[in-house]
Amino acid sequence: MSDQITDRKAKLDKIRALGVDPYGTRFPNVTSHADIRAAAEGLRIEAGQISAEPAACCRAAGRIVLYRDIGSLIFMTVRDRSGELQFGLSKKMLLEATEGRRDEGTKGSNAARVARFSTLDFRNTLDEGTRSVEPVPRRAGGEDAGLGAPAPQDPTVPWKVAKLLDLGDIVGVAGRLGRTKTGELTLWAEQFSLLSKAVRPPPEKYHGLTDIEARYRRRYVDLAANPVSQRVFILRARIIDHIRDVLRRRAFIEVETPVLQPIYGGAAARPFLTHHNTLDQDLYLRISPELYLKRCLVGGLERVYEFARCFRNEGISPRHNPEFTMLELYQAYGDYHDMMDLTEEIVSGAARDLIGSMTIPFGDQEIDYTPPWPRRKYADLFAEHVGFPLTDMAKVRERARQLLEQKATTLDERKADDEIVVNALFEHYVERHLVNPTFVLDYPASLCPLTKRHPQDPSVALRFELFISGMEIGNAYSELNDPAVQHETFSRQLRGEEGETMAVMDEDYVEALECGLPPAGGLGLGIDRLVMLLTGSPSIRDVILFPLQRPQALA
């Protein structure tokens, strides 16, 4: 039992004894701190002054991150999602303002008071939708926190409540902008409302929350205490917005396909198994949305995409989370070259528009996203980095045996087909060298059961994977649309890792192809990994709000 929590709960009682609800309600017409700062530029307030301009009246809210009580004057640094702003509370000023309102309480309407504090008239760029441009009159006895309270009030109450504030509390203020004698922009409160009392103390104000486990388990504390963490998730949202913009311009439509699937497919991975009680049916959480999205193309939707949460029952690492988000899209009448162009536009555009730089550091690397990116053939890269051609199976298998001896792989080449062994070497020797964005194209066909074959060389599939910083970021095909070939590749079980196959027979999918799948390019992009790269986050858990953690008894 923490003393600090006890102390703070005691303050709750004191605040309630003053007739104030420590958990406020609506606080309308708030201007973001960033917008207040921008507007204050135009007011030209001198140091040590409080502006008399009507435009200097505004309302703001946020969480107290610093609190400096210097007697009859309190300064607090308050954070909203746009930034920080200093609120100033003066005992004398609050008292006079509260007395003034009590006197006019019998004649002035609540709406009029709200209007008085809504005069900052500029477009609120961050806040459209929550800030009403027109003051919104509430019904008599409105619900606005603090402001809606019955007018007659002991004028000393606001100051008494202010003295009971703690770091982490959420407050709202209505007042006038000024500058202190050191020039710091300050919102001097004529009214203030306690909107939410925090009964748990925030982390240390300078270092924030640094314990990695605590940041994942209690992400709300991490977000509140560490603006850099907020920035990652804001950027993640903007990256997704950016992708939607690109696809919208190209007439793609966003669709949703099943997460619960009776047959899993579209990738090689172990699935999660679940069960529907009423149907008494086993179901898999999807490992990929691919087969459903291509059914949409059969139906004529032509250009579809999905931000698909996928689930793979595999190991966890800084680059792997059991659930992750993949953008998949399909474009009728296109091929994998179109997908390369689109991928370049999406990723390099995000770097340019959202990060503002075509080179972004990742770990100790500096990644250059400037298009066009190299487009290298799988076989060429293999020969270059492994040292002999991938057709030399004697050498390939010999090298694979060496890797197994060194425990650098678990693949036993004696139990695996040629292409599987080749690919194991590729993954071990080649991928780590692909630091700047690189398209690897023309994979061995048997690794790609859903991909169209090269017209001149049926051993090669029209597929590329995109690598950045040694990570696979994207994967795209010229989609296989011949139902007979599809049926055959589904039937042919490639020998690889135990319990895994490259594809599972999906009769309904083959039947869909028999109805006619237009030739198409398809693309999968790993959103989490893309966000890692663009935000410089070394672990996938840094870009997933609530990463899976083993359960732990709460302290």
Partner RNA sequence: GAGGGCGUAGCUCAGUCGGUAGAGCAACGGCCUUUUAAGCCGUGGGUCCAGGGUUCGAGUCCCUGCGCCCUCACCA
**Which range, of 117-125, 129-137, 189-197, 406-414, touches RNA by CB under 7 A?**
406-414
Among 528, 533, 535, 537, binds RNA (CB under 7 A): 528
Tell whether omega for the bond before 227 is within 30 degrees of 0, i.e. cis: no
**Which range, of 200-208, 332-340, 385-393, 509-517, touches RNA by CB under 7 A?**
200-208
Q: C-beta of 163: minimal distance to RNA in Å?
A: 9
Q: C-beta of 160: minimal distance to RNA in Å?
A: 13
Query: What is the rounded CA–CA span in Å between residue 20 and residue 165?
Result: 13
Provide CB contacts within 8 A for 17, sequence distance 6+: none
Instruction: Please report, as residue ranges, which positions from 335 to 394 form the binding site for RNA (by CB under 7 A).
Output: none
* 180 binding RNA? (CB under 7 A): yes
* 489 binding RNA? (CB under 7 A): no
Query: What is the rounded CA–CA span in Å between residue 267 and residue 328?
Result: 12
Q: C-beta of 80: minimal distance to RNA in Å?
A: 16
Q: Are strands 253-254 and 520-526 parallel, antiparallel or unpaired?
A: unpaired
Looking at the Cβ atoms of 279 and 554, the one nearer to RNA is 554
Query: What is the rounded CA–CA span in Å between residue 176 and residue 117?
Result: 9
Q: C-beta of 365: minimal distance to RNA in Å?
A: 13
Question: What is the dihedral sign for C-alpha 400, 405, 409, 411?
Answer: positive
Among 91, 116, 397, 401, binds RNA (CB under 7 A): 91
Q: C-beta of 223: minimal distance to RNA in Å?
A: 14
The DSSP bridge partners found for residue 407 are none
Q: Residue 220 is which amino acid?
A: Y
Helix, strand, coil share of the chain (percent; to 5)? 35, 25, 40
What does the per-residue mask of binding to RNA show for 229-268, with x meaning CB under 7 A?
--------------------------------------xx
Instruction: Please report, as residue ranges, which positions from 45 to 84 form the binding site for RNA (by CB under 7 A).
Output: 48, 66-73, 75, 77
Among 9, 44, 92, 375, binds RNA (CB under 7 A): 92
Q: Which token pair is 272?
A: 């999660």
Query: What is the rounded CA–CA span in Å between residue 79 and residue 84?
Result: 4
What's the half-sphere exposure (Cβ side, CA atoms, 13 Å) at 72?
6
Tell me whether residue 443 is exposed, middle or buried, using C-beta atoms within 10 angstroms of its C-beta: 0 to 12, 13 to 18, 19 or more. buried
Looking at the Cβ atoms of 294 and 303, the one nearer to RNA is 294
Binding-site size, RNA (CB under 7 A)? 86
Among 274, 317, 402, 491, binds RNA (CB under 7 A): 317
Instruction: Please report, as residue ranges, which positions from 497 to 516 form the binding site for RNA (by CB under 7 A).
Output: 497, 500
Instruction: Please report, as residue ranges, which positions from 141 to 170 form the binding site for RNA (by CB under 7 A).
Output: 166-167
Instruction: Please report, as residue ranges, which positions from 456 to 475 form the binding site for RNA (by CB under 7 A).
Output: 471-472, 475
Q: Residue 322 is which amino acid?
A: P
Q: C-beta of 11: minimal distance to RNA in Å?
A: 6
Q: Residue 72 is which amino acid?
A: S
Which 3 state secondary structure label does DSSP give 274? strand
Q: C-beta of 349: minimal distance to RNA in Å?
A: 22
* 128 binding RNA? (CB under 7 A): no
Q: Which token pair is 450?
A: 């859903």
Q: Which residue has the tokens 């989370």?
A: 321
Q: Are 451 and 500 in contact (CB under 8 A)?
A: no
* 205 binding RNA? (CB under 7 A): yes
* 494 binding RNA? (CB under 7 A): no
Q: C-beta of 430: minimal distance to RNA in Å?
A: 13
* 210 binding RNA? (CB under 7 A): yes
Q: Which token pair is 193?
A: 């409302």
Among 112, 212, 237, 484, binds RNA (CB under 7 A): 212
Query: What is the rounded CA–CA span in Å between residue 415 and residue 550?
Result: 35
**Which range, of 30-38, 108-116, 144-152, 206-214, touches RNA by CB under 7 A?**
206-214
Q: Which residue has the tokens 């296109």?
A: 334
Instruction: Please report, as residue ranges, which positions from 411 to 450 form the binding site for RNA (by CB under 7 A).
Output: 411, 424, 427-428
